[in-house]
Amino acid sequence: MYDDPGGWDEDAARPYFFLSYAHTPRAGTRGAGDPNHWVSKLYDDLCEAVLQLTDLPDGAPVGFMDQSMHQGTLWAKRLSQELATCRVFVPLYSPRYFNSLACGQEWYSFTQRPVYPERSTSEQSSGIVPVLWVAMGNYQLPEVASQLQFNHSSFGPDYAAEGLYALMKLSYFRTSYELAVHRLAKRIVDVAEATVIPVGRPLDFQAQPSAFKALAPTKQLRISVFSYRQSELPEGRNPDYYGPRRVDWHPYQPQSARPLAEHAMRLAKQLGFHPSIHEFDQEAEEILSNGEPAAPGLVLLDRWALRDEERREIVARFDRTNPPWVSVLEPWNTSDADCVEQDRPLSELSATTLKFKRREAKPSFQEDAAGLATLEDFEDALPRAAMRAKYAFEDRSRGGQTRPGAPKPSLREAFGGEPRPWRPGTGRSEPGSQEAARVEEDGLPPGAGLGGGEA
């Protein structure tokens, strides 16, 4: 190795900082701007300020900011790489930040790298430079954040009182914002130069825990996929709907080439869950062990994979156990020529394999003759299935679990074949109403639907 004054130093190619922030969802108004616009502006301003304070060569990365909305395999690999190489970790503190699973995983991943002071006399022992994005008031910080020793007073009194977001939004604070950004950039450079944080090995990002407090089990949703890898497909099956992993199954091609599990993850986040994606075969081991369930679950089942006799038996055992906190959805694309041709035999195979699940969770299977034929059908069915799993998980935690394998009794069976007549003032739903039908078939409590702001 030789010094090349005109060339790139390998270390200079490492970004100075990783900006970690909680993605803000759109408010839902058509034409609304990007809610993360102000974070992007802060990132640009910080990059410019850091460049002014360093001798980074032209084209060298200054920082990194994730703008992918936490979706996809490529996103996870890129994040892992940046977290393994960046010099300083810059989290934007807000209540949303500390309730974000992905932000907690970013923090955890970065802190798996050792930190050494540049000099033996230095007291710098962390590569984290926290930022007040909003005023936190009396917000209870998680332990990893409260342990950090960092004085914000040099950023100015307005910053400490309002946070950077307010300083950016209000022109009255323009001078205060510019001071805070300059001081923040200087702090990033100082920490980068006062510490030695070796490049680490990229971790499997989605498998990392959150550095913050553990999520409540009912806020989690374990999405598992029962399907094929392309290399496992039976002869004659169109490979266009599959990928190198079982979780890459995308049955609604060409309507969508994105893995179905990623669609499910997006919908689950809209329901307030912190979802994770798994292969069903691995999840089944834990379910069949009769241990305590970790969280509500949702199985995305490819009927084609039931042709594998050995794996079909795993599904049948799962069905006999019949955990009510795990819902099942069966996408069945009627635009897929193979599905049209094999509709009857594979539908019958599914019906004989999933006897209890079909009886217990009728709304998930009301389309079982034709399947969830489009992505829109799937998106309509998923919230109901996910919430049913959540309610059953909560019932179990309260000691209300039903006997495995036993279908829930309906109102009709309870009253000798005919439902009890409805009378005003009894608190029961009127016969023939959608609510009455849903309570009878679904087992959900009245008012537990997703419409009208409930649930």
Q: Return the pLDDT at 28.
A: 52
- Name the residue type at position 385: A
Tell me the per-residue pLDDT of 395-416, one tens digit each, with 9 for 90 and over: 876 665 444 444 443 333 333 4
Angstrom distance (rounded) from CA 215 to CA 76: 20
- Burial profile 54-79: b = 16 or more Cβ within 10 angstroms, e = fewer: bebeeebbbbbbbeeebeebebbebb
Tell me the per-residue pLDDT of 93-144, one tens digit each, with 9 for 90 and over: 998 899 888 899 999 999 999 999 988 877 778 999 999 999 888 788 888 9
Number of neighbouring beta carbons within 10 Å of residue 220: 20
Q: Return the pLDDT at 450.
A: 35
Distances (CA, A) of 192 to 6, 89, 122, 147, 286: 23, 10, 13, 20, 44
Q: Return the pLDDT at 48.
A: 96
Which segments in the chain show pLDDT lower than 70?
Answer: 1-12, 26-33, 68-73, 214-215, 360-371, 397-455
Distances (CA, A) of 405 to 37, 140, 396: 51, 43, 15
Q: Return the pLDDT at 399.
A: 62
Long-range contacts of 282-285 (CB under 8 A, 24+ apart): 282/224, 283/222, 283/224, 284/314, 284/315, 284/317, 284/318
Q: Return the pLDDT at 153.
A: 83
Q: Return the pLDDT at 138.
A: 75
Q: Is 333 helix (H, G, I), strand (E, B) or coil?
A: coil
Query: Do the Cβ atoms of 399 and 420 come closer than 8 Å?
Result: no
